[in-house]
Every structure is written in C-alpha cells, then in structure tokens.
Structure 1
C-alpha cells in the first residue's frame, strides 16, 4: 500500500477542453516597440482555447492566461507553486467554522484608467458572475454570499465550511473589474449583463497589461498598462499570443527566432532541444484513469470493486508511463501528486495479488469492453496506444479485453451518463485544492458515473464528507490522505498517468513556467540577463 503524505507541496491544478483552430500569424519575435529593453515585444505560440477576453465568461486555458495578464484577483499564488494561496489584491481572515472570510484590500491599487480599486468593485465583479447563469465560472461562487463592509473590506459567507475559498478566488476568471466602467457598458448583477462585447475590445482591470486586439482565430495582442502600480510590472511593452495549433510549427517558429515561447511541445520534441532553447517540464493537473462500473445493469456480474483491484495490480505502470514522455508521472491515486493528502508513491505490479482479486471477483474469462475517446489526446498522451498497452498487459495477467474506441463527443456522453462498463478517461481540477477530487467518492459525481453509490461504501463516503466539512487544516489534510488511501484500496478507479506539460523558450527570455491555474504568468517572463 502507498505511504501517507501529510503536507502539501506543489499543487497542480485546472483542466479544460482544447478548442483548436487558427494559423501561425505574423509578428516576429525579432521585432520591438522602439529599441530599448523596456520596449521589446514578447511573442508566445500556443494552441488557442479561448472564447472571450471577459473574465466573467472565461474558463479555458488560454483565456485564463490572458485574464491573468489583464485582471488581478483577491488571492494569488507565488510563481508556479499553487500549494499555498497568498494575498493578491487583498489579505484575509476567517472564522473558526471556516464559513465567513473577511478580505481587506491592501495598498492604493488602481485600475488601468487610474481610478482606485474599492470594495464595491470586488462585490460587483463577483456578483456579476453569480448573476450570469450561463457564465462558465458561475459554479465557483455557488452558495456564497458576498457583501461590502466599507471601501476596503468585503465579507464572504457560506452555509458550510469552505477552507478552499482562497484557492477558488485565485482563479483568473474571478478577476476584479472596474465596476463603473463595466456598468456604463452593459454590466449588471441581475443576469441581464451585456458587457462581454465591450470587454472583448477594451480592458477594465488592474493587471500589468491591457487588451490591444482580440482575434479568437489568430492572435491576442496586449500592451503594457502604464497605470499599473503592483509588483509585476513587465519589461515588455507588447505581447503577442498567437494561435499555432501544430506543435511542430511551434517548434519551428521557436528554433527560427520567430517566437520566444512555445507552450505545446510534446515529450519527444522537448527531449531533443538544443543549447539555445530551454524547457520547463512538469506534471500537469490532469489524471488519466480506468473506471470499472459498479452497476450490475451496466457491468453485469463483473460489477465488483475486486475487478478494479485485480486490474490495479496487473498493470506495469513504468511501461505505461513510457507513452507519456517528458514531465509525466505515475498517478499515485485519485488525488494527484503535489495536492494536499496525495500519496507519495503509487501501486506497483503484483500479479499474485491480481490473481487473488480475480478469484474473489468471480472472474471466469469474460471479455471486458474498454471504451475510450480515440480523437482527444490529453497532455500529449494518445489514448489508442495507451489502451492497446493496457489490453496487452491485462492479457498477460489472464484478463481478456476488447477495445471500443469512439469519438470524444460520443464517449463523453457515455462517461457522463454512466453507461461505460470499463472506461479509460481523464479528470482535472477546477481550482488548486484537493476538494476537486472528492467527486470520485461513492455517491458523488464521478463515483456515480461509475455506478458507485454511497450505500456501496459508507466508510469512504463518510471520509469524503469529513474532508469536505473540515475546519482545521491539519485535520483536513489527514482526511484527504485517508480518502486517497481508502480509494486506492477499495475504489472502482485505477489511476494511471499524470501527463506532463512542457513550455519551451528561447535563451533570450526567462521566467516562462507552467502554472496549473493560469497556464503561465506572462508578466513573470523577462529578457534574459
């Protein structure tokens, strides 16, 4: 069994679906805005996943990165470490029950038009999102009451303990907007908001950059916010983020000097980079896993957690990891490495344990039908070769598997609808906190997708509830660790791989590192030397 982990380190967080389209674009990395270092241009290539520049509607990787550059949040993280929230625009305190948080705006920070940031702007920004039922980040603020105390103070109240609130408020989608400006351009908190069109062409934030132009198919151009008075003032006067869907084109642009940053290179590409290029390779926040449905109506006589145990110990995880490339790691449990309560090490192959579990499950040679999306790689990991390797390894362990690939949209319906008997899927957190992984528990969202009810394992259901309602940090960590261990021992899930994330840069810049919440902090990138 895996060892216990009682302290959180690097938490790796936000998952989203990539909508890829567009072309390379111009704006060579060799251009600048006027000659001096402070007037240089920064060119970044990435495969776009962005629908708007309005933070209240954005919840996509590229959209979060752009929102982080333009809008500031109450809470921040220090660099790439998202294990511990730190003050952003505000510091905070909480009551003992973790149901009321008081945030105090710090300093004399201003928006890009020079007007001061006040509590009314915070309340409006977040209540605006609460009022827009169709806004993607709306769920982040569910059940929370937000109120202004005075010009500098805001309270957040929840009916249940919410220790994860600071981590939630670090999401760029919850960036603070200039309420006066947004109201003048259609903003409201009653659900009738129409300010998105305005915010797709102008800025109303306090971040180190302002929006110059937005083209969702080709590029986003940012320019330096001259009124910015925070501590992340950029050395670049202009930033061009280009939509380059092919990783091979991103690599060619980087090597040719047409860009400084390439965000989507795969493991094979980064392993051969020359001395003039560097790469930041780290595990992402996503987990690829197998699920074994526990509903007899779906899985028949193999609806048994012992089948999951048999498969868990039948697999050679090192061999599976070979398919993932640089930056990837074995998933040690349903809580990924680096999150609070995660296990230090994962399962290792044990064919004797696998055989014993098969006998307990009543396996008699039945063929398992493995369903998976065959047109949607996750973190550079293609599901078809992964499924084929799983099939081969299980065959060696005496388990017959038939592959049943399908397009992503088709397989998503089966997964969400709970009709997969044996599935290969992935999961990523919505914010940097281990509460994101409690849905794997019995009777919760992902558990129910695998036909696993709370009645099927009341013990784990209680552990999950204790973790969700914890008001003490140390007790909360212990509860998450108990949850991870129990899920590894008795759950219907087999965690496989945490895919890697690789960001490559020319040696002319530094500071381009992956962050699971906002992909990359553009303001932290500086000219080398």
Structure 2
C-alpha cells in the first residue's frame, strides 16, 4: 500500500505521550445521563469533543465525530492499530492483492459475530458495501466508486477495480465501509438501492460487531455507548459506559478536564496544553487536517470571487505567521492542500507579498464591495477556534483593500451550503477520508471539493490531468512526483488558500490509558482503558 511509503508514517504513527507528573485528575463528574444514571461511576468514561455528528448509520456518515463513534460500534475489513497509519492491518479479514493492484481478496476471520450473536459472513460484507454504493444521497458514497464487490464463498469477498488502486486498503478502513448485520438491517428497511430506509433504525440501534453498542444518540448534545456483550474481537470493551459530550469550545474542554468533570479532552490547542498542569497525560501528534479559504469560481454564486485574480489577491495579502499565532504550539502553516507530512506535500508555503496582491486585486475587477466570509463557529479544529481566525483574516484583507463581513453559523447550519457549492467565500477544514495522499485529490478541478468551489475540470484541464496521474500511478517515485506537481499547481492557481495545519492534542486524566490519534476517526475509543 502506498501509505507505507509516505513520509507521514514517522509522525502520525508515533504518539508523543507526555505523562505530566502528579496524580488524581480522574472523573468526578456528576452529569445526568438520559437514563438517570450519573457519569461518576468508576467504570464510566466521559469524553468532551466538539460535535460534527449527523447519524448513527455508517453508510450515511461522513463527519469526524461520526467516525469516532462508529469506529467503536462497527468493524471494518481492515483497520489501523495504535496510531500507526503506515499500513492497514486485519480487523474482520486478512487481505491479498494482485500485482496490478486491481484485485483485492478479503478472507474473513470466521469466528467473529455481530451484537446479536450471529456470525459475520461474506453476505454481510457484500450487502454492506453494495448498500453504500446504492446510497446516492450519501456524502460517503464516492468511496465505493469504481469498485466491484463479489462473494467468492461464505468467508471470502473479492473487490476489483478497473484501474490500479493502491489506496483501496486504506479506503476500506473508513467507518462508512463498516460491515453491518445484513439480516437485521434488511429487516428494518435496509436495501442496496435508493429506497433504503434503515437510517432511522440505525440512529438508535446497533447492527455491528464492534466492542460497544449505541445506547443514546443525540446529535447536538451527547452520545452514550455501552458494552457489546457478544463482542469476541481483540479489543474487548473496557468501560461500562462511555459518554461523549458536545463541548464546542476547547477552553471549556480544558476546564472540564482540569476540574475532574471529564476524563478526555479531544480538541485542545497547543497553548491550552501548556496550561494542563500535573496529573494528566497528553497524546500530541501532527494533525492531518487543513484549515483553508474557499474562493468560489462560479460567477453565479460568487460574482467577483470567480475571477482567478481575486483568489491570487487573497493568497498573497495574508500574513501567515500572524495567523499561525492563533493556533499555538504544534501547528504549522499549511504548505498546500496536502498537509506537510504526506507524500507530495510542498516544503514551504506562500509568503505574504502585498505588491503582488495589489496587482492581482486590480486585475480581478473588485471595486471595494463588502463580501461575506462564511464559516462554522462551533467546531474548533485541533483547538483552533474559527471566529478569532476569521477576524484576523478580515483585518488583514481589509489592510489589503478587501472588505469583509463575517457570517459565523453552527456547523450543522453551514455544512449544507458548503457541500452544495453555495458559498462564495468561506473558511473550512479538510481531513483525509483515509490515510493516503489521494485523500487530498478532491481539491482538484472537477473533483468533490473543487466543485464545491465551482471549479470544473474544463477550467483547469492540465491540473485535472495531474489528478488522474497521481491517482493511477503505481511506481513509488512516479507517484510522489505526480502528487508534488499537483500540489505545486494547486498552490499557484487554485481557488483554495490553505492557512493552517493545527496540531492534534488529546489530553486525558492520569486514570486513562491508550489515547491515540487517527487521521480518520481522531480518537481511537476502543483502545481506551483504565490506567493500570
């Protein structure tokens, strides 16, 4: 798999677990759960994180908190262990591929069972993957594009692709490709077509083989997990109850952890980590996420933003060092749409050039009108709050002659216009769908994120060809060169202005062990256990 050759292995795969001296810090919280029980029981784990959560149905999920939750409830064919994303390892199955990387054969363990005790079989795998293929309204549907699924026997499934796909083993680790109990889902409205209606059932029930079950799912406040009594995998549940709480401000997460009101804080900034004090543990690794500005190229949506010179003016107007001050320790300037530790990433980012910005702005046709900058204001990425970052962008662009008004809104409100390409000028973030540099090709013209910016393949045909070359390359050096050329061209002419790659800091009380970061599901909940 190509990811094994990525420079990010050493960084993402090694957790800087800094045990800060001291004791205590355990959970002494007493928030009431939906069942009237308290979270203060010794076997209860409380996790604070800013929610980006839409459903409990793996096939319909395509947001970070959803990945975190579903990774604990469902198993995939392959997975990653201990923060090491160099190469997927077996979960429900082992894998073999042909030399052309077009045929991947998965052999199930044979002993694994679902939460109702029934065995995990090839029919369940075929159904689960074909169900996702049939969900044309799912944001995760594209993960199965170009993949054919066939049953070989009761324990064997073959996935084939028309073109080489070295990224396929990484793709199947995504929680959207979780393996569901086919009989249970079908009994509750599940199909492999557009008429599937099992989401309502899966939003309140579990049909997986993971260590935990979904007890409560409130998309805006909390998720409660309980042990799967039938689980027979390698990571048995370690807690009688896990409560994930929606705490949108990282400062509040820090206060809760320090006060013993929670056990895990997922979204602390580098600066807040320095305030932890004694009695806590820290897992600190480079993030795989990028905060960026989107400058829409569709004149019907953005007007003046559609002129390529406008994006250029914005790109060179910004003081990236000053923006980085808001991110804290562990964060770095984004050097392009590919984060610095991934294959093909650029060695350095854009430097402020006010003369170039002024020339580009004059060419763009911008006439001083006030533009709106949209962004989610309740989802810190790596502890980076969007509101102060947007305010600093506003100030810097004003100094360069570009007038902005800020339009913050909750993530749940902002996500649809962003996905549907209806935002003229916005600030967003992107993390990989799976641990491979091809996860950043969607920024290209005619691709998923490119189209959100109104950027079609016809607008940049040379770049569209680079996307194809990077996707299909099988030779290691050829692949890296293609990704580097893609990243370079995107930096020079694309409608995206990468700003910051935040650090990722997961802090826990000294009573919790096993906290590890993953670029897809952020916190590996099944790996958490009481210390000692």
Structure 2 stretches lacking a partner, 5+ long: 13-29
Residue in structure 1 matched with residue 524 of structure 2 by the alignment: 521
Compute the displacement of 1:153 (Å).
1.3
Tell me how far 1:63 sits from its aligned partner: 2.5
Please state whether the residue corresponding to 1:56 is helix, strand or coil.
helix
Q: Does 1:303 align with 2:302?
A: no
**Can you list the C-alpha shifts for 1:330-354, whole angstroms capped at 9, x where unaligned?**
11101122333222332344x4xx5
Q: Deviations over 1:6-49 (max 9, x none)?
A: 8331598xxxxxxxxxx9535555413xxxxxxx3322233444
How does 1:423-438 map onto structure 2 within 5 Å?
A: 424-438=427-441
How big is the alpha-carbon RMSD for the aligned residues of Structure 1 and Structure 2? 3.6
User: TM-score when scaled to structure 1?
Assistant: 0.81
Q: For 1:94-493, list aligned pairs within 5 A.
A: 94-106=97-109, 108-216=111-219, 218-245=221-248, 247-291=250-294, 303-305=307-309, 308-309=311-312, 311-349=314-352, 351=353, 355=355, 358-359=358-359, 363=363, 367=368, 369-373=370-374, 376=377, 378-379=380-381, 380-393=383-396, 399-408=400-409, 413=417, 416-417=420-421, 420=424, 424-447=427-450, 450=453, 452-493=455-496
Provide structure 1 residue ranges, at least 5 long, that are not aligned to the other structure.
1-5, 13-22, 33-39
Cα drift, residue 105 of structure 1: 1.7
Aligned residues: 500
> Matched residues in 2 for 1:71 and 1:467: separation?
31
Cα displacement (A) at 1:394: 5.2
1:104: how far off? 1.8
> What is the deviation of 1:156?
1.5
Counterparts of 2:422 and 2:218, CA distance in 1 = 38
Distance 1:510 1:142, change over 3 A: same
- Residue 292 of structure 1 contacts residue 303 of structure 1 at CA under 8 Å; is this kept in 2? no
Q: Distance in 2 between matches of 1:49 and 1:410?
A: 11
For residues 17-28 of structure 1, what are the structure 2 equivalents within 5 Å?
25-26=32-33
Per the normalisation by structure 2, the TM-score is 0.81
Cα 1:222–1:475 shift into 2, 3 Å? same
For each residue in 1:53-86, what CA deviation from the matched residue of structure 2 results, as whole angstroms up to 9, or x when unmatched? 3323333333322211121100111232334333
Tell me how far apart the structure 1 counterparts of residues 254 and 360 of structure 2 sit (CA, whole Å). Answer: 51
1:276 to partner: Cα distance:
1.5
Distance in 2 (CA, whole Å) between partners of 1:292 and 1:132 is 29
The alpha-carbon deviation at position 303 of structure 1 amounts to: 2.8
The one-character-per-residue Cα deviations of 1:229-280 (angstroms, maximum 9, x if unpaired) are: 3222233343233344554554343233332112244455433111112333
Give the distance between the partners of 2:439 and 2:130, measured in 1 at CA.
23
